[in-house]
Chain A
Amino acid sequence: MKRKGWAFYVQVCGLLAFYAFTLAVNGWFLWRIQKLRDLGDNWMAGAVIGCLVGPLFILFSAVLTFLFYTVAVKEKKAGVTEPVPISKTESALIAPILNPPGKGFLLFVGILVSVSLWALFAWSQQVFRGLQVTGLGNPVFWGFYITNFVFFIGISHAGTLISAILRIANAEWRRPITRSAEVITVMVLFFGAANILLDLGRPDRMLNVFLYGRYESPLLWDVCSITAYLTASSIYLYIPLIPDIAILRDHVQGWRRDFYELLSLGWTGAPEEVRILEKCIAIMAIVVIPVAISVHTVVSYVFSMTVQPMWHSTIFGPYFVVGAIFSGIAALIIAMAVLRKAYGLQEYLRPIHFQYLGTLLLVMSCLWLYFTFCEYITVWYGHEPDHMLIFFSKLSGRYSFHFWTMALTCFVFPFLVLASRLGKTVGGTVAASAFVCVGMWLERFLIVVPTLVRPRLPYTVGSYSPSWVEISLFAGCLAAFALLYTVFTRLFPIVSIWEVREGKEHAEEEVSERIRTYFPAS
């Protein structure tokens, strides 16, 4: 047995805490279902969701246990090697972590902190004075907060989903970009969930959702699905991080060494460990895909389960998922471009990565157009009066500016840029992505607000324009997200060192071997 230091016992506590969480999730379902049965209410919906979500957490616990046992507990038979020294190119990856921050960086962080603090002030206004500080009213009960909720949850599909699909597809070019994608997912999910809390009239009662949850409500589906997604993507971010944490552990001193020691689980880099780690990553990559798809599907169900015109649509599930991946890729491209510039990662985040992601973005842009077309042509051809009021308010009425800006920024501009020679350049893909982010936010806004402005009854028209509080909180969410992301890049390498190393050493062989198996032997 290895000598077990203090870190080992803290790690065990962490694992036990995760077991407790798993137990709490499963116990909560059992308790609520039992309670609903006693009350004679509908418990079937809870049973269905519980059967889907509960075992998922047990699986997560199993994966973590398996990994922990192999890395931290089990005695390695052989192959424990000395840490590989950092090469000259690789030192660019850990430079942001080892070097003290520069002036420009501090200024950037300062701006982000001030915007976040301003948003905190705006939020305090809302807490003390109620939702009257927003621009909402009867009949527009939802506005910016719900739009941002859908938008942020959409962005969260950047990471985990794209990285998981590329991993499963064995796309070797994914290696330098998966980490930056996964971090977006985890960080932005917090702000998606936070926007729901901002929207509540009584955030002090949010625990009622757990105490008295009604499983037939799509909001409960959101709670379950987002919790599962946040957990899954955090694990999926953490597992591939372990070897890199071990590299850092060997290069720093003082309290930071303890910090990395704790998180590295005592990783030594033995072949056995690598094998199990890759197995765990593969399991999580598969599990995370249906979870991610479920998240945006149930977010769309919040709207489509009502009978309101232009919400009550079967296409909303896949339409939202496509839009989510679309805006996710765009956010990823922008984040990569910023990292590349800020930390000088040109060697790692190369134009080819932007070109490939740009191609994916182009595909999603076409898919988005297809879904939008399907959605609108069905409404127009059916020509139901209630639906047409909203249809025309978007195409030619009050929201026509938003609508046509969306059409330009979600399809026309990105398509023209990405299909041309510009699509092969970093600048071109970043410009297209910026358009897409704006367009996809407008798309979410156009889903939430116009339907509410023209309710079936009364025959009057509502109106909505956001107040300074809502705008400040949106800016604050963006700033706080950027801040968290920046802090992450200062603590962990944003490009996976070991995966790139592995790619350089083995991928060529593996790929040529793989290609050989595609064709007849001679």
Chain B
Amino acid sequence: MEESRRKGQHRWGMVVDLDKCTGCGACVVACSVENNQMLGSPEEAAMGRVIRWLKILPKTEVEGSHVRQNLIPMPCQQCENPPCIKVCPVYATFKNEEGIVGQVYSRCIGCRYCLNACPYTCKFFNWKKPLWPDEMRSSFNPSVSVRPNGVVEKCLFCHHRLQRAKEEAVAQGRNLQEGDYQPACAEVCPAKAIVFGDLNDSESDVSRLCKDPRAFHLLEELGTEPKVTYLREGV
């Protein structure tokens, strides 16, 4: 079908086991530190202006008198058929050959059309020049660029880690293997609820878990084909 489905090409995907997830929020912290996200103030939070590429989505299910609070860790769903890229007027957002949906900060004009087209509301806008306390400024992740005012940003599956893993593999004269590359959220999850790997490799953990009867996608009916799969809780 598409390039990313071709044999020998990686297609990165994630599985989140909601049965294992404790909702501790370690993934959110790891993600924001890893990717130099803004700190944010309570006022900004009230305006919906704090940027967290990975957020925990609360979902309340009511069955009769039984109320249940589900917590769903939600990064960019990395759609195979992303509604956000078609609407960008300047090719600032795109899907690369490994299936990761990227964002070109230096080209984005900040029209926010992609944010409105995303049914998952998983993209973010810099409403102002991001500011950090000095302590944070001195400990930026040097592999990740800091975004300017007025552009859109999003989860890239820690693409900089993939780059580094590829370089290391080349240096060692071997092919990239699955374990070489983990995004920060998967690495840090204390419950091992987030599994990351290559969907094109039928032997991988993610491929195996995707076939689990508990597997589902968010808003599957829209045909966006997300590469983030969830495993239903308590079945």
Residue numbers of A with Cβ under 8 A of B are: 41, 129-132, 135-142, 196, 199-203, 205-206, 208-209, 211-214, 216-220, 223, 302, 305-308, 452, 455-460, 462-463
Contacts and interface: CB of A to CB of B under 8 A. Distances in A.
Given A139-B48, A214-B89, 6 more contacts: A130-B126, A141-B116, A201-B108, A202-B108, A219-B89, A460-B58
Interface of B: 47-49, 55, 57-60, 74, 83, 86-92, 107-113, 115-117, 119-121, 124-129, 149-152, 218-219, 222
A459 B57 contact: yes
22 contacts: A135-B47, A137-B47, A138-B121, A138-B124, A141-B112, A201-B126, A201-B152, A205-B107, A208-B90, A211-B90, A212-B90, A214-B90, A214-B91, A218-B87, A305-B87, A306-B87, A306-B116, A308-B116, A455-B119, A458-B58, A458-B74, A458-B121
A209 B55 CA distance: 32
A135 B150 CA distance: 15
A458 B110 contact: no
A223 B120 CA distance: 27
Among A201, A212, A214, A308, chain B packs the most CB atoms within 10 A around the CB of: A201
A136 B109 contact: no
A201 B121 contact: no
A138 B51 CA distance: 9
A455 B122 CA distance: 11
A136 B124 CA distance: 12
Contact of A202 (B47, B55, B91, B110): B110
Contacts of B109: 200-203, 205-206, 208-209
Given A138-B49, A308-B117, A130 B149 contact: yes
A142 B116 CA distance: 8
A201 B90 contact: no
Nearest to A137: B48
B87 A458 contact: no
Contact of B128 (A132, A209, A455): A132
Contacts of B89: 209, 213-214, 217, 219-220, 223
B121 A306 contact: no
A213 B129 contact: no
A140 B125 CA distance: 11
Contacts of B119: 307-308, 455-457
The 3 closest A-B pairs by CB, nearest first: A201-B110, A201-B150, A137-B48
B82 to A, nearest CB: 11
Contacts, number: 139
Given A137-B48, A205-B109, A131 B150 contact: yes
Contacts of B58: 458-460
A216 B57 CA distance: 32
A305 B55 CA distance: 27
Contact of A132 (B86, B110, B127): B127
B47 to A, nearest CB: 4
Contact of A219 (B55, B107, B113, B121): B113
A220 B92 CA distance: 14
A2 to B, nearest CB: 48
B169 to A, nearest CB: 27
Contact of A455 (B91, B121, B126): B121
A106 to B, nearest CB: 40
Among A129, A137, A141, A302, chain B packs the most CB atoms within 10 A around the CB of: A141
A461 B150 CA distance: 23
Among A203, A214, A220, chain B packs the most CB atoms within 10 A around the CB of: A214
Contacts of B48: 137-140, 462-463
A234 B133 CA distance: 53
Given A132-B49, A217-B88, A307 B125 contact: no
Nearest to A311: B116
B129 A130 contact: yes
Contacts of A220: 89
A141 B127 CA distance: 10
Nearest to B87: A217
B130 to A, nearest CB: 10
Given A209-B90, A219-B89, A138 B111 contact: no
Contacts of A139: 48, 115, 121
A28 B19 CA distance: 55
Contacts of A213: 89-90
B103 to A, nearest CB: 13
A302 B89 CA distance: 11
A306 B55 contact: no
B7 to A, nearest CB: 20
Among B86, B108, B120, B151, chain A packs the most CB atoms within 10 A around the CB of: B86
Contacts of A132: 49, 127-128
Nearest to B70: A459
Contacts of B115: 138-139, 141
Contacts of A206: 109
A434 to B, nearest CB: 31
B90 A452 contact: no
Given A137-B47, A200-B110, A462-B48, A131 B128 contact: yes
Given A141-B115, A212-B107, A457 B57 contact: yes
Given A139-B121, A201-B126, A306 B91 contact: no
B112 to A, nearest CB: 4
Given A201-B126, A217-B88, A142 B218 contact: no
Contacts of A205: 90, 107-110
Contacts of A137: 47-49, 127
A174 B235 CA distance: 72
B83 A306 contact: yes
Contacts of B121: 138-139, 455-458
A32 B86 CA distance: 17
Contacts of A308: 116-117, 119
Contacts of A203: 109
A138 B154 CA distance: 13
Contact of A201 (B112, B218, B222): B112
Given A457-B57, A458-B74, A307 B90 contact: no
A306 B91 CA distance: 17
B211 to A, nearest CB: 24
